[in-house]
Structure 1
Amino acid sequence: MQRRTILRWAAPIAAALALPHGASWAAEAYPEKPVRLIVGFASGGGADAITRIMAEGLSRQLGQQVVVENRPGADGVLAAQAVSGARPDGYTLLMGTNTAMVAAPTLRPNPPYDPFKAFAPISSAGQFSMFLVVPASLPVKSVGDLLAMVAARPGAYNSASSNSASELAMLQLLGGRKVVNARYKGDMQAMTDLLGGQVQMMFTTGTLAPAFVRDGRIRALVTLQPQRSALLPDVPSAGELGLGKLTITPWAGFFGPPGLPAGITEKLSAALQQTLKDPAVHERLTQQGFEGYGMSPAKFAEFFRAQHDAFVSTVREHGVSFE
């Protein structure tokens, strides 16, 4: 009788734990251990810097350490795949950018994943500022000077890029003028070669540009922001120069594996939104040239789809392809 009684009660208990109430309890208890946040770029660059700032703030919100893990290479695909294939328990997250989440899956001949099926959108993180920079030794003072120099010697100059946004912006700027582009795993490596003279131009983030501009080692010619940046107020915007075609906006957001429970997704999103509203976090991100803002999972999913469609439209309009 005792064994039958135990078995009779065991099934209802197991069923109850499998119901949404059980999922709700799991979300309330989350997180019970450190959370891993994977970023697809090398340390020292813009994406790494802003990820670490937000990870610190998120740790305070969640009451658990958020550990940043760098997995550079393959346009962020390696990092994205590590998260897509992870257990959907909220302990492995992705800091995704438009390189891994839009460019790689839409422009490669063999897409590594469907970004709308392989990930769970959690919240936006915000957008990077970008500046077109050249070495101070290059005899150009403006975008017009640079374009004239490139046109005079087709294929003689090199550009650097570490993500699809910077590469596409450069292609839009050049408008068919021939420059050899070199791809890097992160902005810091690209900047090193720019300073060394191996490359002559690149679009880089506000994380790196201001310090090198102020010490006279590089010159910034234009920013992709809608208005001048407070980081480099003397640098004109693309709109001021009549370069309205430079429409690329590099953004970042948080994603989880597919199947991430709604309760955990909502909890993470709320914590991220609070993190980005923290004045101390906001100030540190601003110093990196990053405009931080969060969204609900539903709003971020809408934003993600709109950014994807706009990016693909721009690429098709300009006949751009990436290998």
Structure 2
Amino acid sequence: METTKRRLLLALAGMAVARPGLAQGQAGAALPAFPTRPIRIVVPFTPGSGADNSARYFGERLATQWGQAVVVENRPGANGIIALQAVKHAPADGYTLLLASNSPMAVNPLVIKDLGYDPVKDYKPLSGLARSMNAIVVANDSPLATLEALLAAAKAGPLTVGTYSAGYHLAAAWLAQLAGCTFSNVPYKGQAPIMTDVIGRQIDFAQVDLGGAMPLLKAGKLRALAVSGETRNPDLPGVPTVREKGFDEYVQYSWTSFYVHAQTPAEVAGKLAAALQKTLATEESRAFVRKTGGELMPYPPEQMQRFLLEEIARFRKIAAIANIRPE
């Protein structure tokens, strides 16, 4: 009996040696080494966009944590579909991250047929990042000096509005429906070319990320007619909210968050999520997001997943109000 017991103990010890990673994981000790090579962050928008700037800023902080390079890869086009499909088809090893926004994750499924990806099933949330108001902007010398003037002009004839994602397009269409007017959407791949065309008055106005527009607003090249937040932005106290102008239900924020392939091992996803939470908890990160006109949204994975489902449901109601159907 003693010999049998001794053999069993030796066998169990041998299993622990043969599978140290498993033994350590069960005991709550060190996880497998990760990362051991560079990581890339895929961004669905052009360089210079708010999402791109955030990817580069937080990528640098993650690189410092890990001692590995973090490379930002811009894959704009097709309302974010190109980028999301690239991540879907990448190896599920944690070395490809996605920095996505509300447009490809919560709006595309409602307005675009045959996406080629499922935002809920194909990706695993790592962390929320930030949210920011939309800004309705015109050239500084535009005759449309107020939101009331813009909406009145749109009732007389369609105005052209520049947007660079399905989320902004839907938000503009929602406002037009509530105001009883018409906007003609002009799609762009990123915010920078929209700003150029607004300043040059090639389009009448734009609905864009406030953070991305802030430098031009402060430089006096653009004028903000309204913002889409619950309250006014503290950096633009003289700019009203849309809801102040009689549209009580009109509140809209654009948000960003990090994801990986849904099949990424839990241990790897957990390490990525922990690194992001550590980075977002710093005063430096809070100051960066505040400087861009936004606020941190550091939701952990489970909360981010719940938030995504809530946003899909919210945008579904907005699409119905704006009479927008999948095309």
- 2-structure distance, mates of 1:103, 1:15: 48
Q: CA deviation at 1:20?
A: 7.4
- 2-structure distance, mates of 1:274, 1:87: 25
Q: Alignment RMSD, CA only? A: 2.4
Give 1:51's match in structure 2, choosing from 38, 55, 58.
Answer: 55
1:290 corresponds to 2:294:
yes
Paired position in structure 2 for 1:123: 127
Cα 1:216–1:296 shift into 2, 3 Å: closer
Paired position in structure 2 for 1:4: none
The amino acid across from 1:62 in the alignment is W
Give 1:65's match in structure 2, choosing from 69, 78, 83.
Answer: 69
Paired position in structure 2 for 1:166: 168
Gaps of 5+ in 1: 1-7
TM-score by structure 1 length? 0.89
Paired position in structure 2 for 1:243: 247
| 4+ residue runs over 6 A deviation | 11-15, 22-26
Paired position in structure 1 for 2:36: 32
Q: Is the 8 Å Cα contact of residues 166 and 202 (structure 1) preserved in structure 2?
A: no
- Equivalence map 1:110-189=2 (5 Å): 110-152=114-156, 154-155=157-158, 157-175=159-177, 176-189=180-193
- 2-structure distance, mates of 1:25, 1:37: 28
Task: Among all aligned residue pairs of Structure 1 and Structure 2, give the percentage whose two residues are the same amino acid.
Answer: 32
- 1-structure distance, mates of 2:67, 2:29: 17
Q: Is the 8 Å Cα contact of residues 227 and 242 (structure 2) preserved in structure 1?
A: yes
Give 1:279's match in structure 2, choosing from 283, 288, 294.
Answer: 283
Paired position in structure 1 for 2:102: 98
Cα 1:57–1:147 shift into 2, 3 Å: same
Paired position in structure 1 for 2:304: 300
1:319 corresponds to 2:323:
yes
Q: CA deviation at 1:96?
A: 0.9
Q: Is the 8 Å Cα contact of residues 83 and 256 (structure 1) preserved in structure 2?
A: yes
Q: CA deviation at 1:212?
A: 1.8
The amino acid across from 2:291 in the alignment is Q
What do the CA deviations read for 1:79-132 (whole angstroms, capped 9, x no partner)? 111111111111001001111112223321223212111111111112122211
1:201 corresponds to 2:205:
yes
Gaps of 5+ in 2: 1-10
The amino acid across from 1:254 in the alignment is F
- 2-structure distance, mates of 1:314, 1:180: 18
Paired position in structure 1 for 2:263: 259
Larger CA deviation: 177-186 vs 50-59: 50-59
The amino acid across from 2:300 in the alignment is S
- 2-structure distance, mates of 1:270, 1:251: 20
Larger CA deviation: 217-226 vs 244-253: 244-253
The size of the alignment, in residue pairs, is 313
What do the CA deviations read for 1:51-80 (whole angstroms, capped 9, x no partner)? 211212222233322211100001111111
Q: Is the 8 Å Cα contact of residues 172 and 245 (structure 1) preserved in structure 2?
A: no
Secondary structure of the structure 2 residue equivalent to 1:227: coil
What do the CA deviations read for 1:181-210 (whole angstroms, capped 9, x no partner)? 110010111111111111111112223322
- 1-structure distance, mates of 2:110, 2:305: 17
